[in-house]
Amino acid sequence: MDFFQPVLGIILSIVPGIKSVLLAIIPLGFLIFIHELGHFLAAKRAGIKVNTFSLGFGPKIFGFTKGETLYKLSLLPFGGYVAMEGENPTEQTGAEGEFGSASLGNRAFVVIAGPAVNLLFGILLFWFIFTVGLDVDSAGLISRLTGQSFGKKQEVVQIGMLADDGPAAVAGVEPGDTIVSLDGIPITNWNIFHTKIFTNPAKEMELIVERDGGQEALTVIPNAEPGGPRGDYGVLQVSSISNAFVSDVDEGSLAAQAGIKVGDQIESINGQRMYYVPQFGPGIWDPRLDWFGTNYQSLYQQINESKEEIEIGVIRSVDKETYEKLTIKIPVTWEIKTAVEEKSTADKAGLKSGDVLISFNGNSVDSKSLFSQLEIVDDDPIVLGILREGTEKKVTLSPEEASAKDKEDTFFGIKWAPYLSGMKIDGDPLPKYNIFAAFSKGLETTWLTFTSITRTLKQLIGGEVSPKYLSGPIGIADATSRMFDSVSLTTVLFFIGFISINLAIVNLLPIPIADGGHLLFFAVEKIRGRPVPRRAQEIVQQVSVVLIIALFLYITWFDSVTLFDNWLN
């Protein structure tokens, strides 16, 4: 029994990990499957004999033969493959129906069909995401990976918030600065800027910023932060500009009486220009927020120290082209409201969205004191005192009845929404698109994805970025599984679409064993008027296989040790 007890504990501890791996393998396997399906359908249309179409790899579980093709389900569900007659140079006999016997146009059609399906699938996913609507998670991921911008007045890369003693501040960077270039590279979106900083830890770089109508040259040296097995990565401790807007105003509140309206942009608070969205919730006291938390806390305390009232600078839209600026003085009060997720522990206990929290286990609360109380959670019931439509009520939460998701993602299904003098402040309202605008936005995001990936490949070839920063199947599966655990469905769908377009681009590279390599041979054949000698094709492919396997093992090693390191920590 002493032996089996820890073994049982280890097995139980990895069950969630097994679930996450399966959740990751299924969509990634599907992307490879539709890639091969593209080859299969094109081959059939071109009259090329397809011997096998397999869903998955490895030993056959079951299958059937229809016509000339064996359709089978294989043991390993990661993707699939198509085996065409005479596909490999060593198997070609010149017989009709072989891949090598087909016309040059048909062979190119078959080869390009796989990447084309991946590209089309990515476009359709992006179209779907923009049609159903973005959320904060999906908009943030799209911006980080492609540089796509959704907020107002964010056509350029501007600094929003920075650490007071961070490397950017030391170099002289200021909030509101527009980034022009970094080490001679024009900065047109945040993705380019972040990647350059990330891959150059502790390296001195020239940063050109635009400020007050002129340009200044600054020297920045990103901090070198330990990145585990992959080595150090660069951090500048800055964030992009984010406009703050009033998203809700309580009827009859101090904000409403002062004239604040939903949709007003908060330009300044007590004369301090707002280049970022202020946060007032209990999470700002979490030390893991690091310098972000320090900035949020500083503003929170500054507002609390205002003797009687604060001064708010407001920009209000009159029409599409006209804006007015207002200065509004307002007394300071705080309320912490609840946003309750459906079917959560809090929802089942009777808590409703919009309830105002007034006590926690009998103690009155504010943002800071609530955070310290939230850290003390055991099996004892938690009693929340709330105010609902002017009536005080008590709601009891039982930790024993809470699901793991309720405890990990939220506080028993509650998200805290702080109101300053009756108004809630959020970031730029996310745009909504009709079906036609969504398609246009999907194409734009596809193009930005393409440029982002090709830019990274160019940096790899030029030696600017080390291959250790790349992720293979293990790293991609880990990232996908973590998204399934913690973010919205649209975020996961975008990431899958992003990977699908990655597969399309990488497969079109002129690597002999990839689809792009075949297209390269076809181009040479077109120029020469005859195929590349079979022996030359074999040698090039064999050398390429060795190099690709070496790169795969290199990337997989870093993926594996990084994943293991994450599990340990």
Three-state DSSP class for 311?
Answer: strand
| DSSP H or E segment with residue 71 | strand 69-84
Joined tokens for residue 85: 């007659």
Query: Longest Cα pair distance anywhere in the chain, in angstroms?
Result: 91
Q: Are residues 519 and 395 in the same domain?
A: no
DSSP readout, 281-292? SGGGG-GGGTHH
Q: Are residues 444 and 561 in the same domain?
A: yes
Q: Within a domain: residue 569?
A: yes
Q: Are residues 567 and 446 in the same domain?
A: yes
Q: What is the pLDDT of residues 9-58, one digit of tens each?
A: 333 344 444 555 556 667 777 888 888 899 999 999 998 999 888 887 78
C-alpha–C-alpha distance, residues 141 and 456, integer Å = 17
Mean pLDDT of 222-231: 79
Three-state DSSP class for 209?
Answer: strand
Give the model's pLDDT for residue 458. Answer: 77
Which one of 385, 420, 455 terminates a domain? 420
In angstroms, what CA-CA distances link 365 with 261, 359, 371, 386, 418?
27, 6, 9, 11, 12
Joined tokens for residue 280: 């007032």
Q: Are residues 464 and 359 in the same domain?
A: no
Joined tokens for residue 200: 């150059």
Give the model's pLDDT for residue 289. Answer: 86
Give the model's pLDDT for residue 498. Answer: 87
Torsions phi, psi of 403, nearest 5?
-80, 160
Mean pLDDT of 431-456: 89
Give the structural domain span for 391.
334-420
Spatial CB neighbours of 107, under 8 Å, sequence gap ≥ 6: 46, 99, 100, 518, 522
Mean pLDDT of 184-208: 89
Give the model's pLDDT for residue 430. Answer: 84
Residue 45 in contact with residue 80, Cβ under 8 Å? no
Residue 407 in contact with residue 401, Cβ under 8 Å? no
pLDDT level of residue 159 (50, 70, 90 thresholds): very high
Ranges of H-type helices in 410-472: 435-461
pLDDT at 541 over 50: yes
Q: Within a domain: residue 204?
A: no
- Give the residue with greater pLDDT, 104 vs 408: 104
Q: Within a domain: residue 566?
A: yes
Tell me the one-letter amino acid at 550. A
Q: Are residues 415 and 451 in the same domain?
A: no
Give the total number of structural domains in the chain.
2
Across-strand partners of 334? 420
pLDDT at 423 over 90: yes
Ranges of H-type helices in 417-512: 435-461, 473-486, 489-507
pLDDT at 101 over 70: yes
pTM reported for the whole predicted model: 0.75
Which one of 355, 387, 420 terminates a domain? 420
Q: Within a domain: residue 181?
A: no
Three-state DSSP class for 270?
Answer: coil
| Portion of the chain with pLDDT greater than 90, in percent | 36
Q: What is the pLDDT of residues 112-156, one digit of tens each?
A: 999 999 999 999 999 999 999 888 888 887 887 787 777 544 457
Q: Are residues 545 and 479 in the same domain?
A: yes
**CATH code (residue 351):** 2.30.42.10
C-alpha–C-alpha distance, residues 362 and 426, integer Å = 30
Give the model's pLDDT for residue 11. Answer: 38
Which one of 367, 390, 420 terminates a domain? 420
C-alpha–C-alpha distance, residues 511 and 198, integer Å = 28
pLDDT at 424 over 90: yes
What's the whole-number average pLDDT of the chain?
Answer: 82
Q: What is the DSSP letter of 66?
A: E
Q: Are residues 54 and 127 in the same domain?
A: yes
Tell me the one-letter amino acid at 182. L
- Give the residue with greater pLDDT, 209 vs 76: 209
C-alpha–C-alpha distance, residues 430 and 441, integer Å = 13
Q: Are residues 471 and 371 in the same domain?
A: no
Joined tokens for residue 496: 């899958």
- Give the residue with greater pLDDT, 542 vs 105: 105
Give the model's pLDDT for residue 435. Answer: 94
Give the model's pLDDT for residue 9. Answer: 39
Poorest-confidence range of 89-98, 296-305, 509-518?
89-98
Q: Within a domain: residue 462?
A: yes
Joined tokens for residue 394: 């008590």
Q: Are residues 472 and 353 in the same domain?
A: no
Per-residue b or e along 328-364, where b marks 16 or more CB atoms closer than 10 Å to that residue's CB: eebeeeebbbbebbeebbbbbbebeeebbbebbeeee
Tell me the one-letter amino acid at 263. G
Q: Within a domain: residue 3?
A: no
**Alpha-carbon 8 to chain mean position:** 35
Joined tokens for residue 15: 């069950």
Strand 356-360 relative to strand 334-340: parallel, antiparallel, unpaired?
antiparallel
Q: Within a domain: residue 159?
A: no
Give the model's pLDDT for residue 3. Answer: 35
- Give the residue with greater pLDDT, 233 vs 214: 214
Q: Are residues 555 and 448 in the same domain?
A: yes
Tell me the one-letter amino acid at 17. G
Q: Within a domain: residue 157?
A: no
Q: What is the pLDDT of residues 284-327, one digit of tens each?
A: 998 888 899 999 999 999 998 886 789 999 999 877 677 888 88
Q: Are residues 415 and 456 in the same domain?
A: no
Q: Are residues 28 and 137 in the same domain?
A: yes
C-alpha–C-alpha distance, residues 55 and 79, integer Å = 6
Spatial CB neighbours of 198, under 8 Å, sequence gap ≥ 6: 233, 234, 235, 469
pLDDT level of residue 1 (50, 70, 90 thresholds): very low
Q: What is the pLDDT of residues 450-490, one digit of tens each?
A: 888 888 777 767 666 666 666 655 555 555 555 555 567 88
Nearest to 348 by CA among 419, 402, 423, 410: 402
Nearest to 504 by CA among 125, 114, 145: 114
Across-strand partners of 240? 159
